[in-house]
Each structure stands twice: as C-alpha cells, then as structure tokens.
Amino acid sequence: MEEDPETGNSARTERKALEKAKILQRERERKVFRLVGRVLKKPEAERSAEEAAALLLHREAVDELCRRQIRRNVLKRKQEEVFDEADELKSKVKQLAAAVKQANHLVVYTGAGISTAASIPDYRGPNGVWTQLQKGRTVSSSDLSKAAPTVTHMCIRMLHKEKLLKHVVSQNCDGLHLRSGLPRQALSELHGNMFIEVCTSCSPAREFVRLFDVTERTSLHRHGTGRRCSHCGSELRDTIVHFGERGTLEQPLNWKGAAEAANEADVILCLGSSLKVLKKYACLWSMSRPANKRPKLYIVNLQWTPKDDLAVLKIHGKCDDVMRLLMEELNIQIPEYDRAEDPIFKLATPLRPEEVQSHNREVLAAPDGLESPSVENQQPSEETSSLQGGWFGRGYNKGRRKKKKKAA
C-alpha cells in the first residue's frame, strides 16, 4: 500500500516544526540561564530592580544554578589536599601501628599516590594526569622506567618480611612493588605490569619479563607488542588493563590471590589511592558481611575517598611520611633500595637478536657487577620518540587530541 504523498509531506512538516520548536525552546532556556547566571554573580545590593524581578520570574533557573554551584563546591572540596598537623599525624600513626601489630591478616591496597615520590604522576591529585587534562592543560611525558621503588615500597616489603603483612593489592602498573623485592605470590597487580608481556596462546600463559616498558605500541583493546613468543611464535601482548577493560590474565593480575586475601583480612590499609576504581571491585570489601564482621579499614590519602565514612581511621599525609613514622613505631628499619638486589634483572628474559630494534624505550641498565641478560644490552633503535603509547601515554594523547580539535 503506497503512502499518500500529501500525508507524508504533512508528517515531515510536523516533525520539522516540532524539532524547530525544541531547538528554539533550548535556546530560550540557555538565554535565561545566562541572564540569571550574570545576575547571581553580582552582590545582592548591586542588583537593579529589573534584575531582581528577573530572578523572581525565573525561579526554577535560579534553583538549578544554585544546585550546580553546590555540586561544584562539593567536588572542589573533595579534590583539595588536606594535611594533618604534625602532632595529630603522630597520634594517628600510633593508632595505625597498634592495629598493624594486632592484625592477624593485614592486607594493603596501593594506588598511584605511593609512587609520586618516584616522580610518577598520580591521576586525581592537584597535579594528576586526569586533573590536568580536565583543565585543558598538557601533560608532560616522561620515561617511567627510570623510577625506583620509594620509601613506601620498601616499607611494604619489610612489613611482609617481618610477617606483619600478608598480601598487597595494587592498582599501579609501574612494577615498583616487584622491583622492591616483594615476593610475587604476595602481590596482585590488578591493572598489570609495564615490564611484563605474555603469550596467551601457550598453556599456561607464558610470561616474559623485560627491562623496558613493553607498552609502547599498545592501547585500549590493542595489546599486541609486536614481538613473538620464542616457544610457539604467537604475538605477545602486554598485561595492562585499561579503563573500561576487564582483566582476565592470571598473572600478574592475580585476582585469585587478591580475593582470597580480602576474604581473610581483618585489617585493610589503603595507601595513596582515591579508591574511585577499587571501590567498584566488590570482592575486595566484604560488603556482604555484617558491618561488625568486615575488615577494619585504615586510609592514608591527602584527598577525600568514597570509603572515608567506613574507615576506622583516615590519615591525611604523604605516604612516605606516614610509613616512616609507622616503621619507627614498629621499630623496624627501612632498607634502602639497592639496584644490585632488584629482582627484575634476574627475572628478565633477553630479547632475541632480531628483536633488539623492536622498541624505542630506554632499557634498565644492570648495576655494576651484574651482567644484563639482554642481547647487546637490549639497546633500543636510534629513532627515539616521545612516549605516546602504552598505559600512561594513552591518556596523555587523548588530552592532546581534544586540544587540537578545539584549536581547529
């Protein structure tokens, strides 16, 4: 049955008229919001009678703009860094030390805040990657493989060595927990490790630890590194779990170890994490249990976290400062990071001769007296490039692309 041409034209005309009316309505609303916004910025005493009448006339717009301002103020307060006074900090650390001593199963959750002392930027701090990108600023890239384990990393390793700590669950991809000497069975790197590439065609998956950042060519949903498995010839992939992805690798993610540790934990210590991502992992929080049977939660972070209201104690301080005081209270000496004892040099698999030029990233130099396992020291090709790929560069490039589009 054919459509009547006149009926079809009438329907299209109505749709166009309706769309035009919606557009005009939105434009009128925008004009009202702009007018009300300008008036609200003025002190009440400086508003004219006409402006006061406009506020009364457009009461809904006034209420909506006030609600938006309240939300902005709340968000701003949550992003502010707060520091406890020295005496208060010491008092809180004493409480934390008592909890660590009494704990039967202490588990530590770590975020980007424990690596800022190693010149690795965090994400949501005042100078964090996402914070800067949201403000339209560029983020300078740097070679993250040059970082070394911080005081906090070394303290965590010692707590485990002294049998005060059972397991570490980390969001960080920088590999610094592994390099500090923390045993791998005591570590879950939920978002991967930038030094590890794997062959998922082998069963079980075969790991290759490298002395350079393997994520140069990888990004969201694109994990191939360009190198091949020396056993089956399949392409290797990185271990990074990007935002929006679900990690399925057994190692180094070690979700099984993380879930078991969280289930047995009686104390959880969160260090340097906003917890905005970790809070979504239900298996880490035992929220199905009655409140009095959940692990006691201690948080060390300068900014607000969504778990603050559930914490027994919130410490506002830099992780390194807090951990130094904690180790002093526990009477445990903090070891210096020793490059000669860095496990990565013993774990690393050398590149094959044809793979030496397969990357442009700087290679970790073996310490004096320790021969590098790499072929020809695994030196990258002469053509060096800025760090544009991988787990860190992904966000950096995203921000740059947005800025270029605006400029255009």
Q: Are 233 and 279 in contact (CB under 8 A)?
A: no
Between CA 105 and CA 165 the distance in angstroms is 7
- Is residue 168 one of the residues assigned to a domain? yes
Q: Which of 341, 365, 395 is the last residue of a domain?
A: 341
Q: Are 125 and 113 in contact (CB under 8 A)?
A: yes
Which residues belong to the active site? 191
Residues 154 and 251 in one domain: yes
Residues 130 and 209 in one domain: yes
Residues 72 and 188 in one domain: no
Between CA 115 and CA 102 the distance in angstroms is 27
Cα–Cα distances in angstroms (integers) from residue 269 to residues 110, 121, 165, 252, 301, in the given order: 8, 21, 10, 21, 11
**170 φψ region: left (φ > 0), alpha (ψ -120 to 50), beta (else):** beta
pLDDT, position 14: 86
Q: Give residue 142's pLDDT band: very low, low, confident or very high (50, 70, 90).
A: low
- Is residue 371 one of the residues assigned to a domain? no
Copy the structure tokens of residue 249. Answer: 């690798």
Among 137-146, 173-182, 247-256, the least confident range: 137-146
Residues 110 and 170 in one domain: yes
Mean pLDDT (the chain, rounded):
84
pLDDT cut 90: percent of the chain above it: 53
Q: What is the mean pLDDT of residues 387-408?
A: 46
Between CA 135 and CA 396 the distance in angstroms is 13
pTM: 0.77
Between CA 156 and CA 164 the distance in angstroms is 10
Residues 49 and 175 in one domain: no
Q: Helix H segments across 80-218? A: 86-102, 129-134, 151-161, 176-180
Q: Is the pLDDT of residue 277 over 60?
A: yes
Residues 45 and 184 in one domain: no
pLDDT, position 140: 52
Domain carrying residue 49: 15-78
Residues 205 and 58 in one domain: no
pLDDT tens digits along 317-369: 999 999 999 999 999 999 999 999 999 999 999 999 999 888 888 888 887 76
- Is residue 197 one of the residues assigned to a domain? yes
Residues 37 and 71 in one domain: yes
- Is residue 73 one of the residues assigned to a domain? yes
- Is residue 115 one of the residues assigned to a domain? yes
Copy the structure tokens of residue 272. Answer: 């340097």
Q: Which of 285, 309, 341 is the last residue of a domain?
A: 341
Residues 177 and 294 in one domain: yes
202 is in an annotated binding site: yes
Residues 291 and 149 in one domain: yes
Residues 70 and 200 in one domain: no
> Which of 40-49, 194-203, 375-384 has the largest mean confidence?
194-203
User: Which H helix or E strand runs over 95?
Assistant: helix 86-102
- Is residue 391 one of the residues assigned to a domain? no
Q: Is the pLDDT of residue 315 over 90?
A: yes
Domain count, the chain: 2
**For the chain, what's the residue count?**
408
Between CA 112 and CA 247 the distance in angstroms is 19
Q: What is the mean pLDDT of residues 166-170?
A: 97
CATH number of the domain enclosing 314: 3.40.50.1220
- Is residue 251 one of the residues assigned to a domain? yes
CB-side neighbour CA atoms (13 Å) of 167: 25
User: Higher confidence at residue 72 or residue 3?
Assistant: 72
66 is in an annotated binding site: no
Tokens 């669950």: give the residue. Answer: 169
In eight-state DSSP terms, residue 206 is E
Q: Which of 78, 101, 125 is the last residue of a domain?
A: 78
User: Higher confidence at residue 247 or residue 307?
Assistant: 307
Question: What pairs with residue 198 in β-bridges?
Answer: 207, 237
Q: What is the mean pLDDT of residues 180-195?
A: 95
- Is residue 124 one of the residues assigned to a domain? yes
In eight-state DSSP terms, residue 336 is P
Q: What is the mean pLDDT of residues 244-262?
A: 91
Residues 238 and 198 in one domain: yes
Q: Give residue 394's pLDDT band: very low, low, confident or very high (50, 70, 90).
A: very low
User: Higher confidence at residue 395 or residue 241?
Assistant: 241
